[in-house]
Amino acid sequence: MTSAAKPIYVLNGPNLNLLGSREPDIYGAETLEEIESMLKAAAAGMGMSIDFRQSNQEGELVDWIQEAGARGRGLILNAAAYTHTSVAMGDAVAAIGVPVIEVHLSNIFAREEFRHHSYISAGAKGVICGFGALGYKMALNALDAAEATGPENG
């Protein structure tokens, strides 16, 4: 399977299934389904496909990160609260051979102190935070650009 035929994995962590109704002043009014539709349309316009998923389960997300490394051309990861707690997800990101862009809807550095640390960032090619749903599209553009510089993270 050529790189162009492989999908971009977009993985979303705990509670992101509640977007649109959960603290819209922090996370925005868009639902996860609306973000998925926007991103799939943007990807199609760029000749890419998206494999978009959400789970509240850490182990399932680790499995999907590994799958993205084996079957994808890149990974957009919003690990949500696991960003700040999951060594396992950080290790999985560091172990895969595709570029990873970490995304957060809110500016995690303008929030509580515990949100300022990420176990994901060290293995990611880049981090986008504070732009709401637009951050996903920015990450897609970043992955497109990253293909020209190579798959390594960090």
Residue 152, domain member (yes or no): no
CB 74 within 8 A of CB 8: yes
Residue 154, domain member (yes or no): no
Quote the DSSP letter at residue 154: -
Of the residues 9, 104, 119, 136, only one is catalytic, namely 104
Q: Looking at residue 150, what is its pLDDT? A: 53
What single-letter amino acid sits at 54? Answer: Q
Q: Which residue range is the domain that position 93 belongs to?
A: 3-145
Residue 14, domain member (yes or no): yes
Q: Looking at residue 151, what is its pLDDT? A: 46
Calculate the alpha carbon distances from 92 to 37, 54, 79, 86 in Å: 27, 17, 12, 10
27 carries an active-site annotation? yes
CATH at 56: 3.40.50.9100
Number of domains present in the structure of the chain: 1
117 carries an active-site annotation? no
Residue 124, domain member (yes or no): yes
CB 49 within 8 A of CB 43: yes
Rounded Cα gap, residues 152 and 81, in angstroms: 25
The pair of structure tokens assigned to 116 is: 């300022």
Residue 150, domain member (yes or no): no
Of the residues 9, 27, 82, 119, only one is catalytic, namely 27
CB 77 within 8 A of CB 100: yes
Residue of higher predicted confidence among 38 and 3: 38
Residue of higher predicted confidence among 6 and 107: 6
pTM: 0.87
DSSP string over 16-57: GGGTTTS-HHHH-S--HHHHHHHHHHHHHHTT--EEEEE-S-
Span 81-123, pLDDT tens digits: 889 889 999 999 999 999 999 999 888 765 667 566 788 989 9
